[in-house]
Amino acid sequence: MKVSVQAVAVWGKIAPSHSITAIMITDDQQTIVTGSQEGQICLWELSSELKISSKEIIFGHTASVTCLAKARE
């Protein structure tokens, strides 16, 4: 079964560029984290119906985000 998932983000008239260079999913499989060529980190909510919606975008890195890792307890 093929499932299409469309990501929709509301940023105003112009969305920030976000060329994904790294991706990670949380252990609970409810959040996807992406890093970008532009130095941003985005958090996306993943529903049980496999719908993706934007949660937040983090700015501040001055270089590309090429790796993501989870912290241990």
Task: Flag whether 49 is in a domain.
Answer: yes
Q: What are the residues whose beta carbons fall under 8 Å from the beta carbon of 26, sequence distance 6 or more?
A: 32, 33, 70
Q: Is the pLDDT of residue 39 over 70?
A: yes
Count how many domains the chain has.
1
Res 48 pLDDT > 60: yes
| Model confidence at 35: pLDDT above 60 | yes
58: pLDDT confidence band, cut at 50, 70 and 90? confident
Residue 27: inside a domain: yes
Model confidence at 33, pLDDT cuts 50, 70, 90, reads: very high
**b/e sequence 28-43, b meaning 16+ C-beta within 10 Å:** eeeebbbbbeeebbbe
Q: Which domain holds residue 49?
A: 20-59
46 in a structural domain: yes
In a domain, 44, yes or no: yes
Residue 48 is assigned to a structural domain of this protein = yes
The predicted pLDDT at position 31 comes to 92
In a domain, 68, yes or no: no
- Determine, yes or no, domain membership for 15: no
